[in-house]
């Protein structure tokens, strides 16, 4: 997990309940996700992705490995807290069920997208209020020009 702590307003708690496609094991628990990443988090995500891809031979892997590394790098920096079934399995990397990892990843991205949509809505409302304010310091709005 990333080392810097995200302020609470950029976190979301999500309940996950999924049955593994391969193991038929039930995975139920609470995750706390970061919903916004700092520059450090973004760099950390890229570093983790590259570390997962470059093995002892120094060569990168195929497309599936690229996707898997990107997903686990993203989850590593986004997950603040996870259930023991996730942490005890090397933060999901030792799970046998792709659908469980996919569910956790989808929920992390959804939490991020929901936060962004909420912030954009608040920003637009603030912009609308600003447009309604009278000019500051007696500055008048420019007079409309007439077409000649």
Domain ranges of the chain: 8-131
Q: pLDDT tens for residues 46-85?
A: 999 989 988 655 455 688 888 999 999 999 999 999 999 9
> What is the rounded distance in angstroms from the CA atom of residue 70 to the CA atom of residue 65?
8
> What is the rounded distance in angstroms from the CA atom of residue 131 to the CA atom of residue 15?
40
Share of the chain above pLDDT 70, in %: 83
Q: Is the pLDDT reported for residue 45 higher than 80?
A: yes
**Residue 104's closest CA among 26, 40, 30, 49?**
30
Q: What is residue 46's predicted lDDT score, i.e. its pLDDT?
A: 93
């Amino acid at each position: 997990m990333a080392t810097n702590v995200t302020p609470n307003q950029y976190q979301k708690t999500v309940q996950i309940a999924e049955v593994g496609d391969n193991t038929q094991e039930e995975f139920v628990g609470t995750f706390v996700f970061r919903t916004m990443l700092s520059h450090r988090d973004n760099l950390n995500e890229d570093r983790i992705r590259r570390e997962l891809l470059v093995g002892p031979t120094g060569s990168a892997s195929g497309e599936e490995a690229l996707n898997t590394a990107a997903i686990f790098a993203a989850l590593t920096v986004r997950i603040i807290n996870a259930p023991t079934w996730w942490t005890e399995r090397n933060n999901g990397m030792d799970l046998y069920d792709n659908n469980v990892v996919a569910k956790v990843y989808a929920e992390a991205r959804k939490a991020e997208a929901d936060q962004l949509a909420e912030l954009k809505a608040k920003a637009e409302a603030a912009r609308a209020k600003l447009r309604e304010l009278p000019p500051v310091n007696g500055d008048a709005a420019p007079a409309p020009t007439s077409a000649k």
